[in-house]
């Protein structure tokens, strides 16, 4: 892939203030994967497009996800067939278009006596999941294969598992890749630039007031369309589309342990013994990840999220339930992200 030539910050700022780049067809606020994807589509369709981000690109959820590119088994289980089909089609497209960034990973769904779903229902679920994706990757496996794959796995009541595939990615790298493709096609980017206020004329948004967070300079940017892709920050701009609703940020925390201490070569589902939530243990960059929590994030959004001691205990308890023989301990944790 050829190097990307980015416009320097000062030149782009001057272009924002006047001249050829004074007006835009589309301004996207937010440099995560959602904003990056919107920008790519906008410039691909020929729109003169700008994206601004108040921190580093992919600073928020787009560098702190579970790294999974999946169709959403829970969506399928809830009867959301169209959503699942669309997500699976997009997964397959990403695997084809970015094979070095998005790669298949095997998942094991263990079947324990008395747990939902029962074997026949689970089999139907995975058959339909593959059917919607246009592939056939799932199969039934016995306890012997599980024992080979996962040393110390709880075998009490275990009745085999279903194996299937989804995908994983380096979420931040994928976001940057999409932004780079947009720049190649003519889009403009600027980080550490905050949208302070939307501008309106005759009841419709016509631009925004932007601030360079390094210099303190401000500029009025005009556009035919302004798209708020700021995720958890979406209600800060007084978006009329939210009709007074407030975003309730959620936090998902993950802990990382050494693969030497807790080795896995595929992902495996586990049920938390306290609340029945499904979590994953999976390999990532030569380490093993356990996650994720799903709790309300009541902290300042402009401060990097971090795992609490309670979340650490919660995730270790889940691992202990699935691997009771020699589960990871707090001293085995080498890092975390949220």
Do the beta carbons of residue 327 and residue 316 sit within 8 Å?
Answer: yes
Buried b (16+ CB within 10 A) or exposed e, 274-293: eeeeebbbbbbeebbbbbbb
User: Which of these three, 242, 262, 290, is where a domain ends?
Assistant: 242
Question: What is this structure's pTM?
Answer: 0.91
Instruction: Place 237 in a pLDDT band, splitting at 50, 70 and 90.
Output: confident
Coil vs helix vs strand at 63: helix
pLDDT at 325: 86
DSSP letter (8 states) at residue 76 = H
Residue 145 falls within a domain, yes or no? yes
Instruction: Place 22 in a pLDDT band, splitting at 50, 70 and 90.
Output: low
pLDDT at 247: 83
Coil vs helix vs strand at 258: strand
Can you say how many angstroms the Cα of residue 50 is from the centroid of all Cα atoms in its chain? 23
- Judge whether residue 313 has pLDDT over 90: yes
**pLDDT (mean) for 6-34:** 78
CATH number reported for the structural domain that contains residue 300 in this entry: 3.30.9.10
Instruction: Place 243 in a pLDDT band, splitting at 50, 70 and 90.
Output: low
**pLDDT tens-digit profile of 180-207?**
999 999 999 999 999 999 999 998 999 9
pLDDT at 245: 72
- Judge whether residue 242 has pLDDT over 60: no
Give the chain's domain count. 2
User: Which of these three, 242, 261, 296, is where a domain ends?
Assistant: 242
**CA 274 to CA 60: how far, in whole Å?**
29
Mean pLDDT score across all residues of the chain: 92
Pair (229, 296) in one structural domain = no
Structure tokens at 258: 């050494």
**CA 144 to CA 142: how far, in whole Å?**
5
User: Which of these three, 223, 242, 261, is where a domain ends?
Assistant: 242
- Judge whether residue 155 has pLDDT over 90: yes
Pair (281, 322) in one structural domain = yes
Residue 281 falls within a domain, yes or no? yes
Looking at per-residue pLDDT, the higher value among 22 and 108 belongs to 108
**pLDDT tens-digit profile of 115-130?**
888 899 999 999 999 9
204: left (phi over 0), alpha (psi -120 to 50) or beta: beta
Pair (272, 228) in one structural domain = no
**pLDDT tens-digit profile of 37-86?**
999 999 999 999 999 999 999 999 999 999 999 999 989 999 999 999 99
Give the residue numbers spanning the domain of 114: 104-167+250-337
Residue 229 falls within a domain, yes or no? yes
Pair (278, 292) in one structural domain = yes
Pair (53, 20) in one structural domain = yes
Residue 142 falls within a domain, yes or no? yes
pLDDT at 55: 96
Pair (163, 281) in one structural domain = yes
């Amino acid at each position: 892939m050829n190097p990307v030539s980015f416009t320097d910050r000062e030149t782009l700022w001057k272009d924002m203030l006047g001249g050829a780049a004074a007006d835009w067809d589309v301004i996207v606020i937010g440099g995560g994967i959602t904003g990056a994807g919107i920008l790519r589509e906008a410039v691909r369709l020929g729109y003169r497009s700008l994206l601004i981000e108040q921190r580093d690109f992919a600073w928020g959820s787009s560098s702190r996800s579970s790294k999974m590119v999946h169709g959403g088994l829970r969506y399928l289980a809830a009867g959301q067939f169209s959503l699942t089909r669309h997500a699976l089609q997009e997964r397959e497209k990403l695997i084809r278009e970015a094979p070095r960034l998005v790669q298949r990973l095997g998942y094991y769904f263990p079947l324990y006596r008395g747990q939902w779903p029962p074997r026949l229902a689970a089999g139907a679920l995975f058959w339909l999941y593959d059917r919607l994706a246009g592939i056939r990757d799932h199969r039934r496996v016995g306890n012997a294969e599980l024992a080979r794959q996962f040393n110390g796995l709880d075998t009490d009541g275990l009745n085999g598992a279903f194996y299937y595939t989804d995908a994983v990615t380096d979420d931040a790298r994928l976001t940057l890749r999409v932004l780079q493709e947009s720049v190649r096609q003519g889009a403009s980017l600027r980080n550490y630039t905050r949208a302070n206020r939307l501008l309106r004329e005759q009841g419709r948004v016509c631009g925004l007031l932007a601030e360079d967070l390094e210099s303190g300079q401000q500029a009025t940017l005009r556009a035919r369309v302004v798209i708020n892709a700021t995720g958890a920050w979406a209600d800060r701009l007084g978006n009329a589309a939210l009709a007074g609703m407030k975003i309730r940020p959620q936090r998902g925390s993950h802990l990382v342990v050494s693969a030497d201490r807790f080795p896995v070569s595929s992902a495996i589902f586990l049920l938390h013994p306290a609340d029945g939530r499904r979590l994953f243990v999976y390999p990532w960059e030569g380490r093993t990840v356990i996650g994720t929590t799903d709790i309300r994030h009541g902290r300042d959004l402009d401060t990097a999220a971090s795992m609490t001691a309670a979340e650490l205990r919660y995730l270790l308890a889940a691992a202990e339930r699935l691997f009771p023989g020699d589960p990871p301990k707090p001293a085995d944790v080498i890092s975390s992200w949220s």
